[in-house]
């Protein structure tokens, strides 16, 4: 009986250590992200590496967004423009809803009202939000064709006022990548 109890305790401890390590993963610039699957607002599964394996896909721009954050809402039209512009270049634009005070239903209503032309994934439990270490909305990340994280930071230098934008950072990064150049900026401070 003592031996069985010891085995059970060892298994419980080992599984809790594994669970901690699994949830403790954080993506780093220059390293491959793990594959993850999240459902979008319509219930379809989005599998990162399945999407990257498509012949015409050259990378994915993930942007953590919110329908209650003023900075994210002020960027709505820019998200729509990026999704259209990037699609023509083989880059998927994907929104991720990370906020626990929001609901997928209201995000779906907001997406429809704004005319989002890109999928919005729902990160119930924040596992992917934590892996990206996304702290604000909007917060952008760019992953290349091989699944390597190439950029972490702002969409541009003025989330609140599109008229005052001087540097379109995410566009610049993706442009450099598509041109085969070294990415000049790999990390910036997101606004939100």
In 3D space, the residue among 58, 36, 40, 38 whose CA is nearest the CA of residue 49 turns out to be 36
Answer whether 76's CB lies under 8 Å from 95's CB.
Answer: no
User: Would you state the pLDDT for residue 191?
Assistant: 86
Interacting residues of 120 by C-beta distance below 8 A, sequence separation 6+: 40, 41, 65, 94, 95, 96, 97, 107, 108, 111
Asked, for residue 2, whether it belongs to a domain, the answer is no
Question: Is the residue at 183 inside a domain?
Answer: no
What would the pLDDT profile of 98-115 be if each residue is shown by its tens digit? 999 999 999 999 999 999
- The answer as to whether 19 is a domain residue is no
Tell me the pLDDT tens digit for each residue of 52-77.
Answer: 999 999 999 999 999 999 999 999 99
Residue 14 lies in a domain: no
Give the pLDDT confidence score for residue 5 in this predicted structure: 35
Q: What is the pLDDT of residue 21?
A: 43
Amino acid 124: pLDDT: 85
**CATH at residue 73:** 3.40.30.10
The parent domain of residue 151 ranges over 28-178
Q: How far is CA 42 from CA 38, 107, 109, 122, 166, in A?
A: 11, 11, 11, 10, 35
Domain count, the chain: 1
Mean pLDDT of the 174-184 span: 97
Q: Which of 142, 162, 180 is nearest to 30 (CA)?
A: 142
65 against 2, higher pLDDT: 65
CA dist list (Å): 83 to 6, 62, 88, 110 = 55, 11, 9, 16
For residue range 4-45, what is the model confidence (pLDDT) as tens digits?
Answer: 433 333 333 333 333 334 456 899 999 999 999 999 999 999
9 part of a folded domain: no
Please enumerate in sequence order all residues whose Cβ is within 8 A of that of 164, keeping only pairs 6 or more positions apart, or say none.
158
Does residue 65 sit within a domain?
A: yes
Query: Does the structure show a pLDDT above 60 at 171?
Result: yes
- Rounded distance between C-alpha atoms, residue 76 and residue 69, angstroms: 11
Residue 8 lies inside a defined structural domain of this protein:
no
pLDDT of 135-159, one tens digit each? 999 999 999 999 999 999 999 999 9
The confidence score (pLDDT) of residue 7 equals: 34
Q: What confidence score (pLDDT) does residue 8 get?
A: 36
**Would residue 146 count as lying in a domain?**
yes
Run of H or E including 128 = helix 127-132
């Amino acid at each position: 009986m003592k031996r069985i109890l010891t085995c059970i305790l060892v298994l419980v401890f080992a599984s809790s250590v594994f669970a901690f390590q699994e949830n403790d993963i954080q993506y780093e610039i220059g390293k491959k992200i793990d594959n993850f699957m999240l459902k979008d607002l319509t219930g379809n599964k989005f599998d990162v590496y399945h999407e990257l394996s498509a012949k015409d896909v050259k990378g994915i721009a993930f942007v953590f967004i919110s329908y209650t954050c003023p900075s994210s809402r002020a960027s709505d039209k820019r998200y729509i423009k990026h999704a259209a512009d990037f699609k023509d270049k083989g880059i998927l634009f994907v929104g991720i809803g990370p906020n626990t005070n929001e609901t997928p239903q209201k995000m779906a209503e907001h997406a429809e009202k704004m005319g989002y032309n890109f999928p919005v994934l729902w990160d119930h439990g924040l596992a992917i939000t934590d892996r990206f270490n996304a702290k604000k909305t909007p917060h952008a990340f760019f992953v290349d064709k091989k699944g390597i994280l190439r950029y972490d930071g702002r969409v541009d230098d003025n989330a609140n006022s599109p008229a005052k934008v001087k540097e379109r950072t995410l566009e610049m990064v993706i442009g450099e990548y598509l041109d085969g150049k070294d990415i000049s900026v790999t990390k910036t401070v997101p606004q939100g």
